[in-house]
Structure 1
Amino acid sequence: MKTFLLSTIFIALLGCSSCKDPEVLEGPVTAVEKQKDLLVSATKLTTIPAAGLRQIAVSNGQPELAAQVKFDVDVYRVVYLTQYNGQEIKASGLMVVPLNMPGPAPILSAHHGTTFDQKYAPSNFQLNSLTGFEAFGAAGYLTVVPDFIGYGESKHILHPYYDVKHSGTAVVDMIKAGKSFFQKNNIKESGELFLAGYSEGGYVTLAAQKEIEENPTHGLTVTGAGAGAGGYDLEGMLARIVSGQKYDYPANLAFIIQAYNKTYNWNRPLTDFFREPYATRIQELIDGTRTSSSINSALSSDPAQLFNSTFLAALRGAGEQPLKDALKRNSLKNWVPKSPARLYHGTADTMVPFENSQVTVNAMNAAGATTLTFVPIKGGTHFSSLEPMIKDLIPWFTSLKKK
């Protein structure tokens, strides 16, 4: 996924940041009042000056972005507790804290797109792989960027790709860990919570909003959520496969089937789903060391060539019910957001087709959604639509903040 301009700003400043010796702040994992403290540790990585961020934004011809950068930021690697298949595990993420804020600050949870290569997990601080939402810290947001389960501290687990429950709880638990850190370090919150993400991160954004809204025991309220180009309608994806349409990003299909096979303990041989040599290749390719482009080039874009013919026939008929049920359960089009939300999608997107968001928005509106806005990005591809989304999202978030 194309990174946003401010990711480049972070890269350029890496060499000139006022890096300090790592500072480790340990958090207890015992119960604190009603909720368990999920913060394990927060390790300071660097301090990034606002002046340098503004200068590079201007030099790149983006003065409107430079105007949003107001604060120096401290960057931390956070380890926290969450759940995977009912078991407590450690997960990780990046946290960006604006310095010298004049008053309480809102929290922003930012969610990255599909990642195949482990080195691009946000907490690894490989800046060229970040979505760019980290720059919200310099604009005055207490920003948390979860790695997601399967990356960083939890890299021994295959990422539960497009699983609504694990996507939502991994975000919610990092927000709680961040709030614990802010409280322990006397960093004042405004009580506002924003969610934002693109591609898989768009799906994760809505999954987190759903988790928060359906479970008030979390003690969280979403002020606003912005989701771009997510695959919310997984049943629609299945229909695409069944129809036999070619798909130039087969790595995504291989990833979701392999993830469901592991997450739901089906533990079926991949030859049940894929033809050879692809079944063997997928086990070798999705190992956390390769990019999406290298995986795509090693697989077929033709479903009839990629998938086992028996599997494909079962999908077209009454078979493979566990997979069909999982796709339905993890689709978000049958849920209605209660808090303000904006969905963005490029009309020329071929990786996650525009129709995926259109169908989702139509279904939500038909079910009574009143806080949802759909923002089509005319002519936008999956790679060009992130920047227009951000340019609309920043002022919208600002309008929702307490005056």
Structure 2
Amino acid sequence: MKTIFITVLLAMSSWFSSCKETEVLDDQQVQQPQKELVISAEKLTTIQAAGLRELAISNGQRDLAAMVKYDVDVYRLVYLTQYNGQEVRASGLMVVPLNLTAPAPILSAHHGTTFDQKYAPSNFQINSFTGFEAFGAAGYLTLVPDYLGYGESKQILHPYYDVKHSGLAVVDMIKAGKEYFQKNSIKASDQLFLAGYSEGGYVTLAAQKEIEENPGHGLTVAASGAGAGGYDLEGMLARVVSGQSYDYPANLAFILQAYNKTYNWNRLLTDFFQEPYATRIQELIDGTRTSSSINSALAKDPAKLFNPAFLAGLKGDGEVALKQALKTNSLKNFVPKSPTRLYHGTADTMVPFVNSQVTFDAMKAAGAPNLTFIPVKGGTHFSSLEPMIKNLIPWVEGIRSL
């Protein structure tokens, strides 16, 4: 049996959440009417702290066991957010610690790239731990957004690596969570923590950007931890056009499909991909398959995967709309104001280490006041999450106690 700690790590990497709202106008805060965002909150189960603690101890995780203090209720939260300017329903998992004696901080936790719909966090299976329960049992009001394209919004193609939709889906769930807590006399503190890995790292910074650049949300980030996200999308493009083989072509197919749909380009997939891959992609990315099964069915050589004319356009002056979209959705030019830590394994081949290094350098050069970059020496995309969590938890706990 896996330890609950390892379960937390796997959940974040492979699945890998009411206040006063104000808007700043001419240096004056103007009260904004608050729109109700909660559609429903379905209680799925109650998990006893004793069981989580015993599981951790039996598997040698005594430090984690010491953090587990509360029984938790687990909910499926359905809330309102925006997709291309239209109001839509979205969903996520909510974990609420019971019998709190003081207001609890909120933790929004963000999962990594998910191809299979069944792994959306809100598709919680009774008698099966997701890993996120441990954060609730440690005393955090824990919110885990599915993101658009999963759960309640599965009819939408997930807007993969889209900064605005990524940020809003998180922010609206946080606001919905706060609305639920207020209406149900669950005391939340003013502290809000953000954390995520892989795509979840990107989503973490996207949410932080949305909060920090839009005071009207009425939210403040206490601290943010982001691991191995593809923040520099232009840099990722440069890697593709360099001709290097890439072992995770499913990610490339996903982002092109997502942008084609999100921005209403409505281009044929044969514009982007050679056959038989254009047809295969339509069949493979259907919400029922794992990333490994998709990767194994696609060419890893960009020259074989992509339409030659498309690849030539990427290398030259063509594909202007795509290049602009990648620039718009890159986060290396975001300047975080809140305490922020970036993590990345130096041996990561899925999202190369240089992606975070370039992002960190750009943020620091632009004056980010409280930003730290923590390389995980020798860490791969899959092995670097555990060191990140081991560093992140005591840091967050230290800020929580202030």
Instruction: Verify same fold: TM over 0.5.
Output: yes
Partner of residue 209, structure 1: 208
1:286 and 2:285 correspond: yes
What SS class does the counterpart of residue 192 from structure 2 fall into? Answer: strand
Structure showing greater relative contact order (alpha-carbon pairs closer than 8 Å, 6 or more residues apart): 2
Counterpart residue type for residue 5 of structure 2: L
**Does the Cα contact within 8 Å between 1:113 and 1:197 map onto a contact in 2?**
yes
Pairs within 5 Å for 1:182-193 = 182-193=181-192
**Does the Cα contact within 8 Å between 1:134 and 1:145 map onto a contact in 2?**
no
Counterpart residue type for residue 83 of structure 1: Q
- Rounded Cα–Cα distance in structure 2 between residues aligned with 1:235 and 1:306: 19
Partner of residue 389, structure 1: 388
- C-alpha distance after superposition, 1:351-401 (max 9, x if no partner): 111111011001101111111111111111111111111111111111112
- CA gap 1:4/1:261 in 2 versus in 1, 3 angstroms: farther
Counterpart residue type for residue 98 of structure 1: P
- CA gap 1:108/1:8 in 2 versus in 1, 3 angstroms: closer
What SS class does the counterpart of residue 67 from structure 2 fall into? Answer: coil
Partner of residue 15, structure 2: none
Partner of residue 26, structure 1: none
Superposed displacement of residue 6, structure 1: 5.2
Q: What's the % identity of the aligned pairs? A: 79
**Does the Cα contact within 8 Å between 1:244 and 1:304 map onto a contact in 2?**
yes
- Rounded Cα–Cα distance in structure 1 between residues aligned with 2:42 and 2:154: 18
**Does the Cα contact within 8 Å between 1:10 and 1:127 map onto a contact in 2?**
no
- C-alpha distance after superposition, 1:133-187 (max 9, x if no partner): 4421111000000000000000000000000000000000000100011001100
Partner of residue 275, structure 1: 274
- Rounded Cα–Cα distance in structure 1 between residues aligned with 2:93 and 2:9: 17
Partner of residue 164, structure 2: 165
Partner of residue 18, structure 1: none
- Rounded Cα–Cα distance in structure 1 between residues aligned with 2:130 and 2:245: 28
Partner of residue 23, structure 1: none
- Rounded Cα–Cα distance in structure 2 between residues aligned with 1:283 and 1:58: 46
- Rounded Cα–Cα distance in structure 2 between residues aligned with 1:151 and 1:10: 19
Partner of residue 311, structure 1: 310
Partner of residue 242, structure 2: 243
Partner of residue 29, structure 1: none
Superposed displacement of residue 9, structure 1: 11
Partner of residue 44, structure 1: 43
RMSD: 2.0
Partner of residue 115, structure 2: 116
Partner of residue 261, structure 1: 260
- Rounded Cα–Cα distance in structure 1 between residues aligned with 2:255 and 2:328: 14
Tell which deviates more after alignment, 121-130 or 308-317. 121-130
- Rounded Cα–Cα distance in structure 2 between residues aligned with 1:313 and 1:283: 23
Partner of residue 88, structure 2: 89
Partner of residue 398, structure 1: 397
Superposed displacement of residue 68, structure 1: 1.4
- CA gap 1:126/1:328 in 2 versus in 1, 3 angstroms: farther
- C-alpha distance after superposition, 1:221-243 (max 9, x if no partner): 00000001100000011000110
**Does the Cα contact within 8 Å between 1:275 and 1:305 map onto a contact in 2?**
yes
Pairs within 5 Å for 1:119-138 = 119-126=118-125, 132-138=131-137
* Count of residues paired in the alignment: 382
What SS class does the counterpart of residue 122 from structure 1 fall into? Answer: coil
- CA gap 1:4/1:117 in 2 versus in 1, 3 angstroms: farther
Partner of residue 156, structure 1: 155
**Does the Cα contact within 8 Å between 1:165 and 1:207 map onto a contact in 2?**
yes
Superposed displacement of residue 4, structure 1: 7.1
**Does the Cα contact within 8 Å between 1:194 and 1:224 map onto a contact in 2?**
yes
**Does the Cα contact within 8 Å between 1:195 and 1:225 map onto a contact in 2?**
yes
- CA gap 1:378/1:129 in 2 versus in 1, 3 angstroms: farther
- Rounded Cα–Cα distance in structure 1 between residues aligned with 2:358 and 2:105: 32
- CA gap 1:220/1:206 in 2 versus in 1, 3 angstroms: same
Counterpart residue type for residue 40 of structure 2: S
- Rounded Cα–Cα distance in structure 2 between residues aligned with 1:3 and 1:198: 19
Superposed displacement of residue 33, structure 1: 7.2
Give the structure-2-normalised TM-score: 0.92
What SS class does the counterpart of residue 45 from structure 1 fall into? Answer: strand
Superposed displacement of residue 10, structure 1: 12
Partner of residue 333, structure 1: 332
Partner of residue 15, structure 1: none
Partner of residue 17, structure 1: none
Gaps of 5+ in 2: 12-30
- Rounded Cα–Cα distance in structure 2 between residues aligned with 1:133 and 1:397: 16
What SS class does the counterpart of residue 240 from structure 2 fall into? Answer: helix
Counterpart residue type for residue 86 of structure 2: Q
Partner of residue 5, structure 1: 5
**Does the Cα contact within 8 Å between 2:45 and 2:126 map onto a contact in 1?**
no
Give the structure-1-normalised TM-score: 0.92
Counterpart residue type for residue 322 of structure 2: L
Superposed displacement of residue 132, structure 1: 3.3
Q: Which runs of 4+ in 1 moved over 6 A?
A: 8-11, 127-131
Counterpart residue type for residue 158 of structure 1: L
Counterpart residue type for residue 186 of structure 2: I
Counterpart residue type for residue 87 of structure 1: Q
**Does the Cα contact within 8 Å between 1:50 and 1:71 map onto a contact in 2?**
yes
Counterpart residue type for residue 177 of structure 2: G
1:174 and 2:157 correspond: no
- CA gap 1:138/1:345 in 2 versus in 1, 3 angstroms: same
